[in-house]
Amino acid sequence: MREIGDNLGLANLSGRTRCGREPFGATAPVVTVTDSKTLADRIEDLLPQTQCTKCGYNGCRPYAEAIAAGDANYNQCPPGGAEGIARLAGLLGKPVIPLNPVNGSEHPRAVAFIDESLCIGCTLCMQACPVDAIVGAPKQMHTIVESLCTGCDLCVPPCPVDCIAMVPVTDERTGWDAWTQEQADAARERHDRRLARQRREREAAEARAAARRAASTSAAKAGAEPAAPAAEDDAAAKKRAIIAAALERARKKKEELASQGAAPKNTEGVSAAVQAQIDAAEARRRRLAEQRAARDAEAAGPASGDDAPAANDQDAPGPSAPPDKNAP
């Protein structure tokens, strides 16, 4: 015990205890706490995090940065509604103004639902969802996790068979009355994780491409055969082939539904921005169909001699008359 006490005494004489703490009676250092958040950070904290792009920007963070930079107004977020505008106005020290109708209107929050009988498993809606609220696999039925869906309706335009419908789930409640801060924080976290995953995948793809270029350059200098495509490239090509096949099945399915008089289920009550995307997609599909028909007609070529229509008998020349012996 004496040895321990002596050691503690020596430690205190040195000005610090062995655990690194200040001795009793010492004056604690003054720590100044500062808010490290930027204006864009504080603006983003007030946005509903639906990532719907109705504000005209690719997500809530780009919109917050645009407001902070003075490039966008603070009344362009329909999901936040009037209360969201009031929150931003209070932060920015500006008056409360109405929602810009160009960006949409404030309405009850809707959740996407997939008609399982029509889904062809093309995965296009999964790629469009900004918060990973859709689960499924290629050529398999997809489903939407209702508790994770933000109602952004970005999955609607890419669907080639119109099997996604937006269904209101908050009765008459709109804006922040239909969406909680906890839901916004969770959606923001999922969106950030998705962006991080996409960034990792993009960097990995760029690294593989750089490695292939370096290998090809080295092989060319050495006069060797170029390296075979990596397995990742084969997987990417297979994925593109699966999507192409799914789109072809979707085209046939739409033709079948059209012949039966079935109408799309997700083109009612959508925002003007989403309707514009739907119209653009339909125009693109029609243009591609016309180009495909033109290519098919060109490949078929002109009709062959066997297929040419036969001449009328009255127009066909008859047998030649025998020569006249008295003719000069």
Q: 61, 65, 87: which is closest to 75 by C-alpha?
A: 87
For residue 87, give both structure tokens: 């929150």
Give the pLDDT of residue 327. 46
The domain limits of the chain are: 39-103, 110-169
pLDDT (tens, 9 = 90+) of the chain, 328 residues, equals 334 344 433 333 333 333 444 443 444 444 444 568 999 999 999 999 999 999 999 999 999 999 999 999 999 999 999 999 999 999 999 999 999 999 999 999 999 999 988 999 999 999 999 999 999 988 888 999 999 999 999 999 999 999 999 999 999 999 999 999 999 999 999 999 999 999 999 999 899 888 888 888 887 777 665 555 556 566 667 767 777 777 777 777 767 766 776 555 555 555 666 666 667 666 766 776 677 677 777 766 654 444 444 444 444 444 444 444 444 4
CA angle 126, 127, 131 (to 5 degrees): 70
Give the pLDDT of residue 231. 60
For residue 229, give both structure tokens: 């495509």
Task: Measure Cα distances from 287 to 109, 264, 280, 281, 313 in Å.
Answer: 34, 20, 10, 10, 44
Task: Measure Cα distances from 288 to 156, 285, 295, 297, 318 in Å.
Answer: 20, 5, 10, 14, 51
Count Cβ atoms below 10 Å from residue 156 Cβ, excluding itself.
Answer: 25
**pLDDT tens digits, one per residue of 114-128:** 998 899 999 999 999
In the chain, which ranges are continuous DSSP H helix? 2-13, 39-45, 60-69, 81-92, 124-128, 181-222, 231-259, 272-300
Q: Which CATH architecture has domain 39-103?
A: Orthogonal Bundle (1.10)
Give the pLDDT of residue 85. 97
Beta carbons of 88 and 74 less than 8 angstroms apart: yes
Give the pLDDT of residue 61. 96
Give the pLDDT of residue 138. 87
**pLDDT tens digits, one per residue of 2-50:** 343 444 333 333 333 334 444 434 444 444 445 689 999 999 999 999 9
pTM: 0.60
Q: Which CATH architecture has domain 110-169?
A: 2-Layer Sandwich (3.30)
For residue 245, give both structure tokens: 């096949």
